[in-house]
Amino acid sequence: MSVLTSCATSGKATLLGMGIGAGTGAAIGAFADPGPKGRGRIQNVFIGAAAGGLLGAVTGYFAHETGHKSEKGKKDVEKITSSFTGEPGQPVLLPPRVEARFVDDQIRGNVFVPGHFEYFIIENAKWAR
């Protein structure tokens, strides 16, 4: 679902998640045990739609925010990189070379460390003409 909601606005992502969740929850509620003589089927559908809609809305919102933050970070890097260019005749500051390495989940003693990226400066920033 994050693929579907990451390009939309926050409100659209939340509504899309709510719609998908409500539809899925209603379908699951329809197949749930309706009780004696099927009396609870409509109630199950409404409960499933409500619960699914709520979970879908939360998922859609957070999927959008996660995607939006990563896009914002890329734009910030582009802004910083473009600020290294100088006027004609002035030196130009070359950005540092940075390498990202993913570290898998680890257990250190009694501590669980989730997978994460570590960033290493391979070459410092330097001036060039």
Residue 120 banded pLDDT, cuts 50, 70, 90: very high
Residues 31 and 47 in one domain: yes
Instruction: Name every residue whose Cβ is closer than 8 Å to that of residue 35 and which is 6 or more positions away in sequence.
Output: none
- What residue numbers bound the domain in which 51 lies? 1-83
Residues 75 and 128 in one domain: no
Q: In the chain, how many domains are there?
A: 2
Tens digits of residue pLDDT in 5-47: 445 577 888 888 888 988 888 888 888 877 787 778 888 888 9
Residues 41 and 74 in one domain: yes
Tens digits of residue pLDDT in 37-89: 777 888 888 898 899 888 888 888 888 777 766 565 666 655 555 555 556 77
pLDDT of 5 reads: 42
pLDDT of 116 reads: 92
Residues 68 and 114 in one domain: no
